[in-house]
Chain A
Amino acid sequence: MKYLHLIWAALFRRKSRTFLTLVSILAAFLLFGMLDAVRTAFTSGGDSVMGVNRLVVSSRYSIIQSLPASLENRIRSIPGVESVARTNWFGGIYQDPKNFVLSFAVSDDYLDIYKEIELPADQRKAYDNTRTGAIVGAALAKRYGWKVGDKIPLQSTIFPRKNGDKTWPFDIVGIYTPAKGAANGTDQSFIFHWTYFDEANAFTKGTVGWYIVKLTNAKDSDRVASAIDALSANSDHETKSQSEQQFNASFAKQLGNIGLIVGAIMGAVFFTLILLTANTMAQAVRERTSELAVLKTIGFSSTSVLTMVLAEAIFLLLLGGMLGLALATVLVPIVSHGSGGMLQLPPIGPGTWAYGIGLMVLIGALVGALPAVRAMRLNIIDALAGR
């Protein structure tokens, strides 16, 4: 720490060069922050710790095939199952086909299973008592300016009502907030009564898109999953039970390998960055050869010279990288907002920061290593003589 002013002085010995390098590092970490937000947006569905004791039971053959409602009681009777909720995909749009609304018809157990949906008690009561009641996530409500008490029409792209009309009326009776630790995007859903859906829709009767099963103990998940699948083996509605994490992960995978694409871009970015800063550091040390020799002459040990050069590189990376990540932290919500809900990027959290700072230190050490070793091995007499 006591050498800090020395490192600082060395860093800004050539202001323009340091500035140019800093901007490059800034650009790289700005990209890192934004791309990591994209990656999290696509994969964090499986990261919710609250999902560990939940199973998703869906049709084995196809997501568009539904399951009979009669299966519910048979699943409940399996030991290890705490409760079961019915869920149907609604495919809602609001006013314009562009305004897609993530909407589900769910049975009442759903809200008890999903503890991460936090709804005030009076709103929960109102929901239970209103047939056409719906609760919406805070972010979704904000997007369309919905308030408790609003009557809104939602169009289903799939299900017409009995009169052939595809517009379904709903009463918004509650606005929920996601609990701490909930998966990203939890506050984007529109949830309403399965009974309303089942009674009013023209085609399907007594069918369930998928069941959510809550286990008493997460350790039982494999056993219970195979017991549930055994219920319908060899019937025309065979099921596939998987943990919520597996289900989300396999869904995210179908969108395409986002992780791979993001990883490839970041690889290209950081490879270039390493080359660029390594070049800067090599130049900086080469220019200062005689200064370093003087430092050694007046008694700085080889190790402290090594540490100083290494610290300089890491410092350079940290300075540019932190600025870049800070810029990304500011920009990501703006991008999210500007896309009109098309792209829901999570804000940059401590995880990304920790990962980013780790990368900065690593890259700094990497690019500083060679010049630092050269500085350490410097022969005082040769260096001072300019040989």
Chain B
Amino acid sequence: MKTFRKFLFGLGMLAVVALFLVVWIALPWQGVAGLVVVVALWMLLTRRGRQTASVTRVGLSTLRDRIGSSSVVVIGIAGVVGVLVAMLAMSEGFSATLQSAGNDRSAIVLRGGSQAELNSVMDRDSANVVMEAPGVRKDAQGKPLASAELVVVANLPRKGEPGSDANVPIRGVSTAVWGLRDQVQIVEGRKFTPGMHELIVGTGARHQFEGLDVGKEIRLAGQRWTVVGVFRSGDVLESELWGDTQTVASAYRRGSSVQSVTVMLDSPAAFDAFKAALVGDPRIKVDVSTTKEYFSKQSEGLTKVLRIVGLVVGTIMAIGAVFGALNTMFSAIAARGREIATLRAIGFRGTPVVMSVMLETMLLALLGGLVGAGVVWFAFNGYTASTLGANFSQVVFQFRVSPELLWMGVKWALAIGFIGGLFPAVRAARLPVTTALREL
């Protein structure tokens, strides 16, 4: 009978933990703030609350004697939050870099079934059909605002690692590109001159590869090209080198063919008509998508993998940290056993004891969460990394430690603290006073 009741009690505790986790995950920050206010008011206004406050104060004052074991809780949780936030920051940074390159107002057209620009080929006639399609915005001279583009991949040495080459994308663009991709700004030097062997480089590419400063010459396809400018766009395009479509095409013997056509639409609403016109055109076989769709699809795979890896690693580490916290708090309770029993003997109820142990653990956890999130924010916010993208070349992106991620990290920390504190707290409150007093 006794074991059965014990079992039921354990089951009940697990249910409390599970319920807490479900509610906690769903809780927005307003809810958490409300909870904090309620607990604070309770501690100020009610008798039990004031008791809790004083017991907690006693507990915290003995913290200095337990500095070693308490720091285990703080550092353990800081580790979990740090790894979690760093992985998710990487995932978010990558997807933001790709997604901000796309929008609803422009569309990209590739050969049917190509998936990425690198795999696509379109001849000049098809490209012209696309540019003349209904729904394409015209500039002041009545020319379509469209860029027929070509992406080739070149090998360039990485910065700081001589002899280690990586793939860099080189994009040939039409002159209309400046109106079409208005996020692109020249930050140094000037634009390239069509017909010349001139390139402008993205800030990300310049950061990643050797010898891409203004005025330098590089060899591509056996020819000399001069870097004449540096551009910034705040998205994936920064990883690229740009030149004139025709010049790039002739250097790489592509004749008059291009790989993709990007057009500015009259309005986002014009997309359906534009797509219908091209899909229905028997002369060409193409895939049409808004640039927003195109770039989100490219970021999907890796973003998902990084997110899953981050969450799995974070969860396993969190389990380790929960047990570390349990260990610390159980021994803290054991060390303070007589003190707690004395409190209860002189009339303190169970609730203040439970609450004070919980509060102490969660304060330690909060500290750990802040340390972990803070370290990642200082070390990694804006940290530049690169990987292979859809065009089989380097995509440069930056870690993005957003406030949402920091908040998520703190929430994880508090959840670990809650579980790590709950069981020791309940044990402290349930220990028979007489046994505890007699214990040395």
Question: Which residues does A use to contact B, with CB under 8 Å?
Answer: 16-17, 20-21, 23-28, 30-31, 35, 38, 60-65, 91, 97, 155, 157-158, 166, 203, 234-236, 238, 240, 250, 253-257, 264-265, 268-269, 271-273, 275-276, 279-280, 282-283, 342-343
Closest to B82 in A: A268
Residue numbers in A under 8 Å from B154 (CB-CB): 61-62
Given A17-B330, A276-B72, residue A23 in contact with residue B152 (CB < 8 A): no
Q: What CA separation (Å) do A1 and B377 show in the bound complex?
A: 49
Is B247 an interface residue when CB atoms closer than 8 A count as contact? no
18 contacts between A and B (CB under 8 A): A20-B327, A24-B321, A27-B317, A27-B320, A60-B155, A61-B155, A61-B219, A61-B220, A62-B152, A157-B114, A236-B222, A238-B222, A268-B83, A271-B79, A272-B320, A272-B324, A276-B320, A279-B72
Closest to A164 in B: B285
Residue numbers in B under 8 Å from A91 (CB-CB): 119
Q: Which secondary structure dominates where chain A touches chain B?
A: helix
CB <8 Å contact, B323 and A255: no
Residue numbers in B under 8 Å from A25 (CB-CB): 320
Residue numbers in B under 8 Å from A269 (CB-CB): 79, 83, 317, 320
Is B351 an interface residue when CB atoms closer than 8 A count as contact? no
- B76, B219, B392: which contacts A272 (Cβ < 8 A)? B76
Is B69 an interface residue when CB atoms closer than 8 A count as contact? yes
Is B313 an interface residue when CB atoms closer than 8 A count as contact? yes
Is B361 an interface residue when CB atoms closer than 8 A count as contact? no
The stretch that binds A, out of B5-13, B128-136, B174-182, B382-390, is B382-390
Instruction: With both chains docked as a complex, state the minimum distance between the C-beta of B182 and any C-beta of chain A, in angstroms.
Output: 29
Pick the most buried of B115, B154, B164, B323: most chain A CB atoms within 10 A of its CB. B323
Instruction: With both chains docked as a complex, state the minimum distance between the C-beta of A278 and any C-beta of chain B, in angstroms.
Output: 9
CB <8 Å contact, B320 and A24: yes
Q: What CA separation (Å) do A158 and B120 show in the bound complex?
A: 7
CB <8 Å contact, A28 and B328: no
CB <8 Å contact, A97 and B115: yes
CB <8 Å contact, B385 and A256: yes
- B119, B152, B222: which contacts A157 (Cβ < 8 A)? B119
CB <8 Å contact, A157 and B69: no
Instruction: With both chains docked as a complex, state the minimum distance between the C-beta of A109 and any C-beta of chain B, in angstroms.
Output: 26
> A31-B313, A254-B167, A265-B313 given. 7 additional CB < 8 A pairs?
A38-B309, A61-B220, A61-B222, A62-B221, A256-B387, A276-B327, A279-B328
Given A31-B313, A250-B165, A265-B83, residue A63 in contact with residue B323 (CB < 8 A): no
CB <8 Å contact, B167 and A282: no
Given A236-B222, A254-B394, A256-B386, residue A279 in contact with residue B330 (CB < 8 A): no
CB <8 Å contact, A272 and B79: yes
Q: What CA separation (Å) do A235 and B115 show in the bound complex?
A: 33
Given A17-B331, A63-B155, residue A279 in contact with residue B317 (CB < 8 A): no
Q: What CA separation (Å) do A265 and B380 show in the bound complex?
A: 14
1/0 contact string of B217-256 vs chain A (CB within 8 Å): 0011110000000000000000000000000000010000
- A20, A27, A158, A256: which contacts B326 (Cβ < 8 A)? A20
Instruction: With both chains docked as a complex, state the minimum distance between the C-beta of B283 and any C-beta of chain A, in angstroms.
Output: 13
Is B103 an interface residue when CB atoms closer than 8 A count as contact? no
Q: What CA separation (Å) do A280 and B386 show in the bound complex?
A: 41
Residue numbers in B under 8 Å from A17 (CB-CB): 327, 330-331
Is B68 an interface residue when CB atoms closer than 8 A count as contact? yes
Count: A-B pairs, CB below 8 Å: 132
Q: What CA separation (Å) do A60 and B71 show in the bound complex?
A: 54
Within 8 A of A (CB), among B315-352: 316-317, 319-321, 323-324, 326-328, 330-331
Instruction: With both chains docked as a complex, state the minimum distance between the C-beta of A98 and any C-beta of chain B, in angstroms.
Output: 9
Q: What CA separation (Å) do A27 and B75 show in the bound complex?
A: 16
- A16, A272, A282: which contacts B321 (Cβ < 8 A)? A272
For this complex, into which size category does the number of interface residues on chain B fall? Answer: 35 or more
Residue numbers in A under 8 Å from B118 (CB-CB): 64
CB <8 Å contact, A275 and B165: no
Q: What CA separation (Å) do A26 and B316 show in the bound complex?
A: 10
Instruction: With both chains docked as a complex, state the minimum distance between the C-beta of B394 and any C-beta of chain A, in angstroms.
Output: 7
CB <8 Å contact, A27 and B319: yes
Q: What CA separation (Å) do A365 and B72 show in the bound complex?
A: 19
Given A65-B221, A250-B164, A268-B83, residue A23 in contact with residue B320 (CB < 8 A): yes
Is B311 an interface residue when CB atoms closer than 8 A count as contact? no
Is B305 an interface residue when CB atoms closer than 8 A count as contact? yes
Instruction: With both chains docked as a complex, state the minimum distance between the C-beta of A339 and any C-beta of chain B, in angstroms.
Output: 9
Is B153 an interface residue when CB atoms closer than 8 A count as contact? yes
Closest to B112 in A: A166
> Nearest 9 pairs between A and B by C-beta?
A27-B320, A256-B387, A272-B79, A20-B327, A24-B320, A23-B323, A268-B79, A276-B324, A157-B119
- A16, A31, A61: which contacts B316 (Cβ < 8 A)? A31
Q: What CA separation (Å) do A60 and B220 show in the bound complex?
A: 10
CB <8 Å contact, B328 and A272: no
Instruction: With both chains docked as a complex, state the minimum distance between the C-beta of A94 and any C-beta of chain B, in angstroms.
Output: 13
Residue numbers in A under 8 Å from B153 (CB-CB): 62-64
Closest to B69 in A: A279
CB <8 Å contact, A203 and B121: yes
Residue numbers in B under 8 Å from A236 (CB-CB): 221-222
Q: What CA separation (Å) do A271 and B77 show in the bound complex?
A: 12
Q: What CA separation (Å) do A23 and B327 show in the bound complex?
A: 11
Q: What CA separation (Å) do A27 and B331 show in the bound complex?
A: 21
Residue numbers in A under 8 Å from B319 (CB-CB): 23, 27
Closest to A166 in B: B113
Is B60 an interface residue when CB atoms closer than 8 A count as contact? no
Q: What CA separation (Å) do A264 and B90 show in the bound complex?
A: 14
Residue numbers in A under 8 Å from B86 (CB-CB): 264
Instruction: With both chains docked as a complex, state the minimum distance between the C-beta of B6 and any C-beta of chain A, in angstroms.
Output: 14
Residue numbers in A under 8 Å from B72 (CB-CB): 275-276, 279
Q: What CA separation (Å) do A102 and B303 show in the bound complex?
A: 22
Residue numbers in B under 8 Å from A238 (CB-CB): 222
Q: What CA separation (Å) do A255 and B79 show in the bound complex?
A: 25
Given A61-B221, A158-B119, residue A275 in contact with residue B330 (CB < 8 A): no
Instruction: With both chains docked as a complex, state the minimum distance between the C-beta of A63 and any C-beta of chain B, in angstroms.
Output: 6
Residue numbers in B under 8 Å from A342 (CB-CB): 305
CB <8 Å contact, B388 and A254: yes
Is B279 an interface residue when CB atoms closer than 8 A count as contact? no
CB <8 Å contact, B76 and A253: no
Instruction: With both chains docked as a complex, state the minimum distance between the C-beta of A45 and any C-beta of chain B, in angstroms.
Output: 14
